[in-house]
């Protein structure tokens, strides 16, 4: 998350401290934050705590004489990116520091490993254990992270928001970005193999221009949103097959972030609506079990209570967006009863009772519609949601899901020893394997932690709140 001027609301006090950038590492176990004239800091996410703070002790090449004369004032950083939990950190300056210079530093030794200069401002940097990606407005540079050798350069259409994503995986090692619109759609997504240095697929993701891209931890899935922000789509990598279509809402919104959990079972989405939506990605077996359950309930409507009776609505999203509970679908009525969730929200609960003929008619009619209409008719809605505190409304934000179990065969690659950098003190190799948690970072300088019930869903409860601005 690179904070833009729009992240500051009219009510923000003049001269108040804000963050310039924030980003999770590849498994969301750590958070790096860049500050204006205050260096950068690295935090552990669970348990939360700051365990590194970069200050004026870090020499930043390209500083002006004016900045050097300010004594102990720390530099500003617009990009701070970690490589998992190693001591390797990529830095791009702001303010008095040149935004065209990339610094690769060893935070354990407080030293600079190398520096790279570019023809224009660096907008974003992405890393995994094989490659380092530098994104400018009209160019993408691919480096071998082991020796920082330039491998390939990609010329792109103007990309002022540095829209691109790099898979954290060393095996499924792909870069995704919007291709040139010449002869194609503005909503297309190009998959590029950064190991073999070749394009492998162009996915027709949306009709409108893309606004956000995110890979799963193992690089087998990629999620996208358009500038409308009403639908998030999940595709298989590298085939490009569309696997899921997730409905965020009816009204347009700016999507700030999309993130998978480590098991690829959940996706969280944050936007300027100040509500974070969480979706549960159901397998085909789970979908069929849920559909069977709904048919059985519909067939028993005649012997059941009226439409105003017990509707088994366990959770409801605000604003009528609803939530489709999808957990615990093992084919038994007792466990599947938990999965109903608020299907269309409180405003429509009486009309769309799961026991009424309308529910059955909706399912029956949609089976005869073309795919494009069926997607509009039966989108998958959120499984859970979280409301941001009042102090963070109007600010940019980003989200992640931590905890849970990783896939059977995670492919993050071997641990590299970058000049004996080792692990950062206080950091862990992977996200915790405890209960699922939703974590959110706001550009106003706060870190939030929410509980996430992986079985029932519903509203997430705020249990942690920490300032990123405290000394």
Burial of 137 (0-12, 13-18, 19+ CB in 10 A): middle
Written as six digits, the tokens of 279 are 């979706």
- Is it true that the peptide bond before 22 is cis, omega within 30 degrees of 0? no
Are 329 and 335 in contact by the 8 Å Cβ rule? The answer is yes
Which structure tokens are listed for 251?
């009204």
The secondary structure of the chain in percent helix, strand, coil, rounded to multiples of 5, reads: 10, 35, 55
pTM attached to this predicted model: 0.76
Q: What are phi and psi of 76, to 5 degrees?
A: -105, 150
Predicted pLDDT at 180:
82
Cα separation, 79 vs 99, in Å, equals: 9
Three-state secondary structure of 258-290: EEECCCCCEEEEEECCCEEEEEECCCHHHHHHH
Check residue 362 and give its pLDDT.
Answer: 41
CB 154 within 8 A of CB 140: yes
Tokens linked to 212: 């956000």
User: What is d(CA 426, CA 224) in angstroms, rounded to the nearest whole number?
Assistant: 33
Give me the residues of the chain with pLDDT under 70, please.
3-17, 55-73, 182-185, 287, 290-291, 293-294, 297, 300-379, 405-433, 471
| Strand-pair category, 437-442 with 88-94 | unpaired
Exposed e or buried b per residue across 3-15, where buried means at least 16 C-beta atoms within 10 angstroms of its C-beta: beeebbeeeeeee
Q: Which two tokens stand for residue 371?
A: 């795919």
* Three-class SS state of 422: coil
How far is the C-alpha of 292 from the C-alpha of 331, rounded, in Å? 8
Q: What is the pLDDT of residue 406?
A: 63
Count of Cβ atoms closer than 10 Å to residue 364 Cβ:
12
Token pair for 120: 């224009």
Among candidates 176, 204, 179, 181, which has minimal Cα distance to 372? 204
pLDDT value at residue 182? 64
Q: 255 vs 73, 83, 281, CA distance in Å?
A: 35, 25, 19
Task: Kindly state the helix (H) or strand (E) to which residue 291 belongs, with its residue range.
Answer: helix 284-299
Quick one: tokens of 194?
């950064």
The answer to whether the CB of 257 falls within 8 A of the CB of 1 is yes
Q: Which of 232, 249, 277 is nearest to 440 (CA)?
A: 277
CA distance 248 to 16: 33
Q: What are phi and psi of 391, to 5 degrees?
A: -65, -20
């Amino acid at each position: 998350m690179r904070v833009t001027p729009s992240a500051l609301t009219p009510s923000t006090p003049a001269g108040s401290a804000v963050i310039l950038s924030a980003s999770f590492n590849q498994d969301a176990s750590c958070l790096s934050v860049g500050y204006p004239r205050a260096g950068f800091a690295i935090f552990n996410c669970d348990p939360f705590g700051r365990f590194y703070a970069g200050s004026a002790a870090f020499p930043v090449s390209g500083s002006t004489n004016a900045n050097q004369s300010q004594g102990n004032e720390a530099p500003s950083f617009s990009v701070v990116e970690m490589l998992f939990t190693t001591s390797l950190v990529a830095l791009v300056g702001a303010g008095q520091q040149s935004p065209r210079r990339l610094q690769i530093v060893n935070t354990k030794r407080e030293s600079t490993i190398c520096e790279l200069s570019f023809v224009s401002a660096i907008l974003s940097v992405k890393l995994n254990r094989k490659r380092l990606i530098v994104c400018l407005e009209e160019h993408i540079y691919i480096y071998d992270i082991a020796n920082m050798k330039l491998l390939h350069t990609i010329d792109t259409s103007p990309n002022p928001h540095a829209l691109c994503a790099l898979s954290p995986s060393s095996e499924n090692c792909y870069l995704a970005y919007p291709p040139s619109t010449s002869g194609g759609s503005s909503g297309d997504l190009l998959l590029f193999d950064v190991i073999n240095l070749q394009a492998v697929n162009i996915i027709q993701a949306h009709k409108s221009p893309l606004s956000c891209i995110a890979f799963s931890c193992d690089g087998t899935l990629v999620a996208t949103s358009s500038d409308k922000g009403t639908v998030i789509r999940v595709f298989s990598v590298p085939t490009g097959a569309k696997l899921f279509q997730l409905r965020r809402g009816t009204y347009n919104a700016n999507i700030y972030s999309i993130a998978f959990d480590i098991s690829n079972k959940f996706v969280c989405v944050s936007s300027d609506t100040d509500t974070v939506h969480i979706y549960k990605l159901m397998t085909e077996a789970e979908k069929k079990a849920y559909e069977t359950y709904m048919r059985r309930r519909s067939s028993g409507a005649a012997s059941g209570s009226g439409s105003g009776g017990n509707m088994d609505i366990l959770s409801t999203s605000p604003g009528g967006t609803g939530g489709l509970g999808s957990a615990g679908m093992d084919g038994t009525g007792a466990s599947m009863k938990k999965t109903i969730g608020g299907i269309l929200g409180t405003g429509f609960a009486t009309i769309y009772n799961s026991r009424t003929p309308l529910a059955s008619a909706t399912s029956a009619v949609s089976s005869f519609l073309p795919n494009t209409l069926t997607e509009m008719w039966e989108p998958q809605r959120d499984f859970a949601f979280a409301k941001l505190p009042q102090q963070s409304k109007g600010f940019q934000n980003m989200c992640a899901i931590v905890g849970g179990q990783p896939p059977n065969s995670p492919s993050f690659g071997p641990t590299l020893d970058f000049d004996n950098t080792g692990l950062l003190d206080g950091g862990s190799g992977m996200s915790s394997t405890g209960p699922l948690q939703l974590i959110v970072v706001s550009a106003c300088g706060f870190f939030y932690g929410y509980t996430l019930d992986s079985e029932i869903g519903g509203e997430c409860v705020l249990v942690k709140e920490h300032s990123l601005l405290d000394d």
